[in-house]
Structure 1
């Protein structure tokens, strides 16, 4: 019989919780264990619908991974940053601008943040087909665990949430699931991500913003909650508010493509990353993410014929997509990824910069 012993991984020590009183966003909590029954889905669907209509973010609990499994994933997530040499990282760096995909490393200083300051963010991205590309030596023994984690995320977190959101649009509950199939080769991906502290000069030039306000391009994003207080959302009241850490919880946010196909009924909420509060300065911020896409050939057009809700509410996309000129998921993904942090944007009023990519108006919030 094969060994049940897991490969050894050096434990990752997360930062302590912040000691400051921070302005936290009030987000809905979805108990995903209830989504296993029709009765539970009927109970959860209005909660998910209202959360994604207003704030575009929610928490998920009881998602199927124990605290010990979650800790193991953070231990693994630290490997590509602390146990791979800089020379080997360069070998596995992705050709992001040319390919429109993030697979492999995005090394530090690839993105321009503001006033000549480049980012201090490093991430490593993995396709659900973990053998699609080769990986650094230190990660290879861990690929079976990574693959199992990705599959769990897609089938046991993303799909139940898509069912709830389809119910909220009064569509058959598998409508959105059938547009984001795990068994079809696509471009969903896992990301291990690490933010490194910056010097005071760079903090001043960027007004303490580590990653500008933006909306995600994809369908749904899963963020494994971690203790460094740096993620903020732009709440409906116009305030930037922190997302509070929830032990062994998931932070879920809705991306552009669900806003597009719901005709603006669901909202891709603006979020950013800022310098942590003083009690957490000097710590790195390690993140574990899963970015779920729709199938490559899905047209990003409002599903008016399928959804009585969109018919009643009307399409409210604020001119972001011109009627009849919507891109496919594949086209929009490639263009957004290639352009991000690499192109000149049109400076706008109130710190909102814009650019048009694949016929879609994209906004960046300073």
Structure 2
């Protein structure tokens, strides 16, 4: 993490926490430090299994990053947006449509949200191998800190969670760690993401939706909690509920790959981003994410040897022989999101086939 001498960057001043009375999702809080206590690993594995199988989201706390280190990373996260000119950003665009990769910039107004309204979100994505691509000049001095933060997320957050998910399926604890290797080719990456306020007209046209409901592509996602609300999950009862901010916590959710691996035991929960509550209108929403993907050559088939899914029954999305690799799945989903005309099947759902006959659904 940051040393005593680090490059100076502008200080990001976050918005005050919202005081609005909102309908919050009831998410489990997982204390990762308990993994080192007698019996703690088994207890955590059960807690995580219940959380991910029932809702798909939970909070992780006591992960080892201090609040000061958290704040420094948020300062760094704003650099791609406040310290890089628009002309330079064009040099570092991600090849989203043709290569199905988010590495680099995704600029505003690329995606269609609804009613011909374009998005107002910008993000900069850096592969777990920070040397894989060149970066804007303002980011280069920060790469040692970004690399250390990526490694912290991978080894101190993701690997423990992957072990807990494996134990929850009564599999050897390194089952998922084995196909999430840091040194193996894959699209695991850090994302710095900034939502900008929109016009009242656009809010009305999209019913305040900033990013339509979706599931994540990979196995596990870590969102570092920040005060500007907007994230909502589709609860099991069909209602959208807000995700509350907890200082220095990580909001963790399962993605498509983990749902495939677990034969449907672990849920890739649908979530979306909406306009923040009234007392946070006008503030940008700056976020830091770690998207953990299996190695590119991993086939997305269930671990059918799991005693847990043998008892419950395996729910396959593909026949094993026809299952895509992680590379196929993420390229198909990435290249399609927000860029293709979708077929509406109702007020809430849009869908189109993308990989091996499986439809991805987006919720308005």
Range of TM-score over shorter length: over 0.9
Shift of the alpha carbon at 1:43? 1.4
User: Unaligned stretches of 5+ in structure 1?
Assistant: none
Shift of the alpha carbon at 1:324? 3.2
Question: Against the structure 1 CA distance between its residues 8 and 127, is the aligned structure 2 distance closer, same or farther, given a 3 Å change threshold?
Answer: same
* The one of 327, 341, 359 aligned to 1:361: 359
Q: What whole-Å deviation, never above 9, does each CA across 1:200-225 have from its counterpart, x for those lacking one?
A: 11111111100000000111000000
Tell me the residue number matched to 1:202.
Answer: 202
User: Unaligned stretches of 5+ in structure 2?
Assistant: none
Shift of the alpha carbon at 1:298? 1.1
Shift of the alpha carbon at 1:299? 0.9
Tell me the residue number matched to 1:351.
Answer: 348
Shift of the alpha carbon at 1:38? 6.3
Q: What whole-Å deviation, never above 9, does each CA across 1:254-309 have from its counterpart, x for those lacking one?
A: 001100111101100000000011110000000000000011111111111x2111
Instruction: Calculate the TM-score normalised by the size of structure 2.
Output: 0.97
SS in 1 for 2:244: coil
SS in 2 for 1:131: coil
Matched, 1:265 2:262: no
Tell me the residue number matched to 1:327.
Answer: 324
Q: What whole-Å deviation, never above 9, does each CA across 1:107-142 have from its counterpart, x for those lacking one?
A: 000111111111000000001111111111111110
Shift of the alpha carbon at 1:315? 2.0
SS in 2 for 1:349: coil
Q: Is the 8 A contact 1:223 1:251 kept in 2?
A: yes
Tell me the residue number matched to 2:288.
Answer: 288
Q: Is the 8 A contact 1:215 1:271 kept in 2?
A: yes
Tell me the residue number matched to 2:312.
Answer: 313
SS in 1 for 2:198: coil
Matched, 1:340 2:332: no
Task: Provide the C-alpha distance between the structure 2 equivalents of 1:35 and 1:81, rounded to a whole number of angstroms.
Answer: 37
- State how many pairs are aligned: 361
Within-5 A mapping of 1:120-269: 120-269=120-269
Shift of the alpha carbon at 1:349? 3.0
Within-5 A mapping of 1:9-28: 9-28=9-28
Instruction: Calculate the TM-score normalised by the size of structure 1.
Output: 0.96
Task: Provide the C-alpha distance between the structure 2 equivalents of 1:124 and 1:95, rounded to a whole number of angstroms.
Answer: 12
